[in-house]
Amino acid sequence: AGSIDTRIYRPDGKGRWVRVFTHIQRNANGLQTRAVGLMMDIHDQKEQELALIEAKAQAEAATIAKSNFLASMSHEIRTPLNGILGMTQVLNSDTLSNTQKERVNIIAESGQTLMALLNDVLDLSKIEAGMMDLALVDGDLRQTLERVRQLFLSGAKERGLQLTLEVDDNVPTRLRYDPVRLRQCYSNLLSNGIKFTEHGSVKTRVSAKEQHTGEWRICIDVIDTGIGMDAEARSRLFKPFTQADASISRRFGGTGLGLAITRQLARLMGGDVIVDSGPDMGSTFSFLLMAGASTAVVAESAEIADAPVEQPSTRPVASPLNARVLLVDDNPVNRQVVRLFMAPFLPQITEAVNGEEALARMHEQPFDIVLLDVHMPV
């Protein structure tokens, strides 16, 4: 007994899918006496199956194409942007008039804004494509959050705002989480809090609750005394490229990507971002995430203090001023920027435009330092 799917063709050339069943009947001696066959029309079912297979293949191809596109765009757009930002830093180190410095700073700030927007768009695309991975490491949560707060402290003071961080005593010192993505989320929330608060404060409260799995549920509340928002605005808050309303966009700027990315990253971390707010009542953004228990053993402070101090290595090290540097990059702007930065300290710089040329240079003479672009075609 068995079955097979095949196409049969009518005299007019049109084909249909059929499933053919066969069964062999035998007598008492085991000899074949007859064959029974059944043909079933499965054309519609088979066409649907083939369409699903084709759609799946196209979706997988689209995902691969999107992945390749994002990788290419990330490199190709960042390369000229890095050239712009690098050259503005070089110009700022020159002797310029106040007017010239102001113009250079405008170029630098615009370039940094464009770089931040590019990073946001690429991050959102990666998340939507399911290509964003977390890099979990053991870290000090308090220290991670405090460093972010320090970055925003001067900006908050300029606006006359208090920027505080309170961490509950039960929050473990060491946890396992992705510090880069956590900093990104917390930075977005602090930036928004400061941007939309004209008077008062932006406070951060951190609490933790241990789960039966051994993980910790972390809650980072960012509480501001800003303009707040109504229910309709809250419903649009986490949609990409949207803000509370047009007047908010004109008044405060921004692309509307930060909170959308923050929520997606929080969900990737096993949490979420929720908001509690009302018009002229300020806002509370609660950033929830799951953090694992630290796998590292942290030494007590007394043990650290009593630990022997490693003596400096006596191995001879080339003087920085005499070090020979091989700079390998297929982009001439990148090479020029690096050379301008390094020339005052490392004047012995040899350039190569690809890996093949770099190997040839290394066969000709030894180098102390090799700066290599990892995205070169050769």
CATH code at 16?
A: 2.10.70.100
What beta strand segments (E) does 173-330 contain? 174-177, 201-210, 216-224, 272-277, 283-293, 325-328
Least confident of 22-31, 165-174, 237-246, 327-336: 237-246
Note whether residue 176 is domain-resident: yes
| pLDDT exceeds cutoff 90 at 340 | no
Per-residue pLDDT for 302 more than 50? Answer: no
Residue 238 has pLDDT above 90, yes or no: no
Residue 257 pLDDT > 90: no
Tell me whether residue 301 is in a domain: no
Least reliable range by pLDDT among 81-95, 232-246, 333-347: 232-246
Q: Which of 106, 129, 152 is the last residue of a domain?
A: 129
Q: Name the more confident of 309 and 74.
A: 74
Shared domain for 82 and 202, answered yes or no, is: no
Of the spans 86-90, 298-302, 305-309, which averages the highest pLDDT?
Answer: 86-90
Domain that holds residue 11: 3-45
pLDDT of residue 245: 56
Predicted local confidence at residue 209, as pLDDT: 95
Please check whether residues 116 and 71 belong to one and the same domain: yes
What would the mean pLDDT of 348-352 be, rounded to a whole number? 91
75 and 125 both lie in a single domain: yes
> Same domain, yes or no, for 121 and 236?
no
Query: Does one domain contain both 150 and 77?
Result: no
Domain boundary among the residues 107, 129, 151 is at 129
Instruction: Give the pLDDT of residue 234.
Output: 87
Within this chain, do residues 149 and 223 fall inside the same structural domain, yes or no? Answer: yes
Identify the pLDDT of residue 263.
94
What pLDDT was estimated at residue 119? 84
Q: What is the pLDDT of residue 258?
A: 86
Query: If DSSP codes are grouped into helix, strand and coil, which group holds residue 3?
Result: strand
**What is the 8-class DSSP label of residue 308?**
P
> For tokens 């060491």, what's the residue?
174
pLDDT, tens digit (0-9, with 9 covering 90-100), for 73-126: 777 788 888 889 999 988 888 888 999 989 998 998 888 888 888 888 888 878
Q: What region does 268 belong to: left with phi over 0, alpha with psi -120 to 50, or beta? A: alpha
Percent of the chain having pLDDT more than 90?
Answer: 46
Model pLDDT, residue 122:
82
Which residue has tokens 């049969």? 8
Question: Residue 2 phi/psi, 5° resolution?
Answer: -175, 175
Instruction: Assess if residue 54 is contained within a domain.
Output: no
Same domain, yes or no, for 247 and 148?
A: yes
Number of structural domains (the chain) is 4
> What digits encode the pLDDT tens for the residues 141-192?
999 999 999 999 999 999 999 999 999 999 999 999 999 999 999 999 999 9
CA distance 126 to 67: 8
CATH number of 72's domain:
1.10.287.130
Query: What's the pLDDT score for residue 80?
Result: 86
pLDDT band at 71 (very low <50, low <70, confident <90, very high): low
Residue 190 lies in a domain: yes
**Does 167 share its domain with 243?**
yes
pLDDT at 244 exceeding the cut of 70 = no
Point out the domain boundary residue: 250, 270, 293.
Answer: 293
- Joined together, the tokens standing for residue 244 give 């509370």
Q: Quick check: 282 pLDDT over 80?
A: yes
Band of residue 225 on the pLDDT scale cut at 50, 70, 90: very high
* Calpha distance 341→20 (Å, rounded): 75
User: Are 275 and 354 members of one domain?
Assistant: no
